[in-house]
């Protein structure tokens, strides 16, 4: 019974282009500066705004939808922080997305430290103390004890870019240009293979944390991250990174129950297009 209008954002407020005052506004991401300014007038007069983004599992076919924001800005972050159990049916949904089951968190004494980069300027990094791949790589390189094997994996969208010869860099594992495949699937084609050999992961707040935890690979992250909030990921800061890396090298791992609870929450807070079209969802 609703009429739908699709509008380009103008930077002048979405209400300036709508044919009438909308009942509801849905936006993709909604964290980028121009679009955030566009929807602000609507929020001020009480029009509900839903923000959508790619999901946590099977990301190109499932979507986050929330009125407060995406990822660590979502309304259900409070439930994560207060230790609420996942919604009913979350375990079954998780089993659907991870049919092989969640692997126990391992305390691996061999293998390498895997540093996962993210795209500089991505809205996911907006609240982080570390911005982009060069700064992450430089911080880990300086803090990691000498002689510990470590590799840097660029974000798939940046896998075709060679590091600047004047930058301090970690060695790279062999990686094909994954940009095209990532555009289709929103998943790094070579990620599973490199995670298999990892002792643990270091990242800012990459979505790849989800795959790592499901495979039993412990994670250290700068955040903000719902995984940190859930106790499934070890937090770090630029100031504490050196000691946090030593703790990870000493065998730190999250409780399996915390990891499962976190992943069940993610599974319960993403929906397919068909599910979103169902008025009962």
List pLDDT tens digits, range 202-248: 999 999 999 999 999 999 999 999 999 999 999 999 999 999 999 99
Looking at residue 149, its pLDDT comes to: 95
- DSSP per-residue letters across the chain: ----------SS-GGGTSSS--S-EEEES--SHHHHHHHHHHHHTT--EEEEEE-SSSTTTEEEEESS-SGGGSTTHHHHHTTPPPPTTHHHHHHHH-TT-PPPPP--SSSEEEEE---TT-GGGTT-SS-SHHHHHHHHHHHSPTT--EEEE--GGGTTPPPPTTS--PPBPP----HHHHHHHSS-TTHHHHHHTEEEEEESS-THHHHHHHTT--EEE-S--HHHHTTSSEE--TTTHHHHHHHHHTT----HHHHHHHHHHHHHT-EEHHHHH-TT-
Q: What is the pLDDT of residue 98?
A: 95
Predicted confidence at residue 154, as pLDDT, reads 84
- Regions of the chain with pLDDT less than 70: 1, 9-13, 32-35, 121, 156-168, 174-189
Q: What is the pLDDT of residue 31?
A: 73
Predicted pLDDT of residue 103: 96
**Domains in the chain, start-ordered, CATH in brackets?**
14-96+269-277 (no CATH), 112-266 (3.40.50)
**Which position has the token pair 């705004």?**
49
User: The pTM is what?
Assistant: 0.88
């Amino acid at each position: 019974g609703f009429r739908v209008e699709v509008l380009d954002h103008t930077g002048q407020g979405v209400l300036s282009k709508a044919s009438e005052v909308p009942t509801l506004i849905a936006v993709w991401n909604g964290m980028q500066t121009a679009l955030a300014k566009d929807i602000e007038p609507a929020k001020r007069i009480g029009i509900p705004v839903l923000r959508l983004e790619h999901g946590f599992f099977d990301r190109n076919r499932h979507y986050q939808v929330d009125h407060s924001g995406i990822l660590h800005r979502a309304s259900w972050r409070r439930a994560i922080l207060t230790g609420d159990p996942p919604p009913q049916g979350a375990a079954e949904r998780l089993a659907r997305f991870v049919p092989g089951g969640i692997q126990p968190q391992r305390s691996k004494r061999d293998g390498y430290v895997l540093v996962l980069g993210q795209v500089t300027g991505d809205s996911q990094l907006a609240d982080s103390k570390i911005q982009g791949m060069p700064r992450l790589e430089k911080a880990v390189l300086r803090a990691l004890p000498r002689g510990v094997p470590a590799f840097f994996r660029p974000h798939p969208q940046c896998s075709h870019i060679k590091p600047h010869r004047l930058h301090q860099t970690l060695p790279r594992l062999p990686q094909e240009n994954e940009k095209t495949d990532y555009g289709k699937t929103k998943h790094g084609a070579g990620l599973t293979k490199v995670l298999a050999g990892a002792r643990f992961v270091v990242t800012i707040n990459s979505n790849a944390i989800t795959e790592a935890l499901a495979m039993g690979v412990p994670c250290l992250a700068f955040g903000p991250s719902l995984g940190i909030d859930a106790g499934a990921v070890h937090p770090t800061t630029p100031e504490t990174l050196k000691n946090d890396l030593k703790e990870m090298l000493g065998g730190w791992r999250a409780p399996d129950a915390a990891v499962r609870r976190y992943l069940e929450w993610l599974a319960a807070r993403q929906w397919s297009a068909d599910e979103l079209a169902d008025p009962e969802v």
